[in-house]
Amino acid sequence: MRKVLLFSLIGLCAGLFSTANAQTARLQVIHNSPDPTVDIYANGAILLDSVPFRAATPFLDVAAGVDIQIGVAPYPSTIADTIYNITVNLNDGESYVALAQGIVGDPTTPFMIQLKTMARESASAGGIDFFGVHGSPDAPTVDIIARDVAILLDDVSFGDISDYINVPAGSYVLDVTPGDDNFTIVESFRADLSGLDGGSAVVFASGLLGGTPGFGLFAALADGTVVEFPVEPKVFTNLQVIHNSPDPVVDVYVNGSLLLDSFVFRTATPFVPVQALVPVSIAVAPHPSTSVADAIYTVDGVFRNPDNDYVALATGIVGDPTTPFLINIQGNVRQTNSGGGIGIIAAHGSPDAPAVDVVADGALTLFDDLAYDSVTRYVGVPAANYNIDIRLADGITSVQDYTVDLTGLAGQNVVVFASGLLSGAPAFGLYAALNDGTVVAFPEAMMRVAENVSVHQVYPAVARNTVNVRMTNDSGAPVDLMLSDAQGRVISTQVANVQGTAVHTMDVSGLAPGAYFVTVSGPEGRSTTTIMKQ
């Protein structure tokens, strides 16, 4: 009833103005001042009576070419009660939007009427023409972003009015962010403009961030309809972070806020909720850090698939130009599986190790030619105890063997990652990050390479002229040894004839400095140790 009365009054007054002068303009009035309900006077006569907050008129004819004195008074009122007065003179044939903004009596954001010239009642071409208004008195400078489309309004402050923007008719998510930080979303709104092709609108921020009435985003259509854009619910996925960079201890920030303080090498977080479908900035700083400004690495992106989870692996070496520090984010992650076994993702995170194969129990190749900084798809295995052999990509030369006990993890998925350095400290190893953030170190396997033959030690780890292989051979049968380089090329083969517990010595004096593999093999398996030649 109030809206009908409001339209009737403005129509009556507009008609009176237009008959007094042959020139006419078009005017829409939008009340976007949080308080109070107001009366609006024109040339001393009531123009709009009891106009509520967030109401609008349609575009109507008003007199042009003459001064119109507009006064605003708290409802109920007389002309003597006006608290704000402005004189306008409108151009013949032009359209305008008048916006009541601000707070009555507030010295910082006082009540005012703003006039938008060259207004449009319909789109100049296809789609929708609209302009934006920052009308929230206590909100900071903001951007309004059509998610995955464009920044519609950039760095607008209270009272700013944009130029017209044209967008296709459709449904959009509008993210309101601080003007200098598009990763912090103040609020998101669903703007369904799919039925407005060819039309126009005024999109205005309204209300108070820190009070009542609350903050919202609205659109006034040319016919006076005011549409409230509903809040878009936040959507979340889950993220696990694994620190697999040998150095340093780090602090991790997400969207500028500290997420992980003093995050240590070879530790992991449990899966934690993070917002999906919106921009996310992950920054890493050496510990201790004072703020995100100390970050040495930043990666920006969007978790686009909330139906699955994500793993972020920190790898590489800070300051190393060949294998620099980076974060590898793996999507399509699942914490559980319905098959009852175990799903394994393998990540090669050893910066100085070549491409490798991962072989289970000497026969089943789980992962083939896995290169540094690559992450595999899932491979399913039964929950059991395995001997895992890390071999060079030739599929023959073993880097290291591990005992991997997965018997208690049925129904779970895990991330198995190679870690550390072949040729330095921290030493190479094989680890698994579980869903709860527990990191398991798999022990090196003690291999029997032949019946009654066991390898105890290969030393020194850093050799100048010789390398010693200490083993026990109760059978006295010959034992095969092989020396290969980091690319898997065989340097030499030897036969060790030892009885009982003894040491076989290999001459490496003629080798170039670098990493090498000593492999002791027999019919029951092999044992491989990495050594460095100085």
Residues 252 and 218 in one domain: no
pLDDT digits (tens, 9 = 90+) for 161-213: 999 999 999 999 999 999 988 998 999 999 999 999 999 999 999 999 989 99
If asked whether residues 60 and 45 sit together in one domain, one would say: yes
Q: Looking at the chain, how many residues does it have?
A: 534
Give the pLDDT band (50/70/90) at residue 473.
confident
Weakest mean pLDDT among 103-112, 120-129, 230-239, 391-400: 391-400
176 with 244, same domain: the answer is: no
Is residue 488's pLDDT more than 90? no
Among 299, 333, 367, the domain boundary falls at: 333
**Looking at the structure, do residues 325 and 362 belong to the same domain, yes or no?**
no
Q: What average pLDDT does range 115-120 have in this prediction?
A: 96
Query: Tell me, what CATH number does 391's domain have?
Result: 2.60.40
Q: Are residues 440 and 460 in the same domain?
A: no
Q: Determine how many CB atoms are found less than 10 A away from the CB of residue 518.
A: 22
Beta-carbon contacts of 190 under 8 Å, excluding residues fewer than 6 positions away, are 171, 172, 173, 174, 229, 230, 231, 232
Q: What does the DSSP assignment read for 93-129?
A: T-EEEEEEESBTT-SSSB-EEEEE-S--SS-SSSSEE
Instruction: Give the domain range for residue 301.
Output: 235-333
User: Are residues 483 and 403 both part of a single domain?
Assistant: no
Segment 35-48 shows an average pLDDT of: 86
Query: Are 41 and 53 within one domain?
Result: yes
Whole-number pLDDT of residue 135: 96
Tokens of residue 430, six digits: 């094989």
Q: Which residues of 76-96 are buried (b: 16+ CB within 10 A; e: fewer)?
A: ebeeeebebeeebebeeeebb
Same domain? For 7 and 49 the reply is yes
The predicted structure's pLDDT at residue 12:
40
77 and 221 both lie in a single domain: yes
Q: How many domains does the chain have?
A: 4
> Residue range 33-50: average pLDDT?
87
Specify the DSSP class assigned to residue 248: -
SS3 65: coil
**Range 380-407 average pLDDT:** 86
Check whether 296 has a pLDDT greater than 50: yes
**Where among 317, 333, 349 does a domain terminate?**
333
Residue 396 has pLDDT above 50, yes or no: yes
Q: What is the pLDDT of residue 479?
A: 84
Q: What is the pLDDT of residues 70-84, one digit of tens each?
A: 999 989 999 999 999
pLDDT one-digit tens code per residue, 141-170: 999 999 989 999 999 999 999 999 999 999
What pLDDT, in 10s, does the model give residues 253-286? Answer: 999 999 999 999 999 999 999 999 999 999 999 9
Q: Which tokens in the block code for residue 296?
A: 């040495």
Query: Residue 411 is encoded by which pair of tokens?
Result: 């129904």
Domain-terminating residue out of 333, 368, 393: 333
Mark whether 72 and 209 lie in a shared domain. Answer: yes
Considering the domain architecture, whether residues 178 and 62 belong to the same structural domain is answered as yes
The answer, yes or no, to whether residue 524 has pLDDT greater than 80, is: no
pLDDT at 242 over 60: yes
Q: Mean pLDDT of all residues in the chain? A: 89
Q: Are 341 and 438 within one domain?
A: yes
Residues paired with residue 146 on neighbouring β-strands, in sequence order? 150, 174
pLDDT band at 456 (very low <50, low <70, confident <90, very high): confident
Q: What is the CATH classification number for the domain harbouring 486?
A: 2.60.40.1930
pLDDT at 525: 67
The C-alpha R_g of the chain, in whole angstroms, comes to: 36
Q: Kindly list the distances between the CA atom of residue 185 and the CA atoms of 176, 181, 204, 277, 512, in Å, as whole numbers in the listed order.
A: 6, 8, 17, 12, 57
- Give CA–CA dist 238/245, Å, rounded: 22
Label residue 15 by pLDDT band (50, 70, 90).
Answer: very low
Q: Which of 232, 246, 293, 242 is nearest to 272 (CA)?
A: 242
Spatial separation of the C-alpha atoms in residues 479 and 474, rounded to whole Å: 12
Burial 270-290 (b: 16+ CB within 10 A, else e): ebeebbbbbbbbbbbbebebe
Q: What is the pLDDT of residue 447?
A: 59
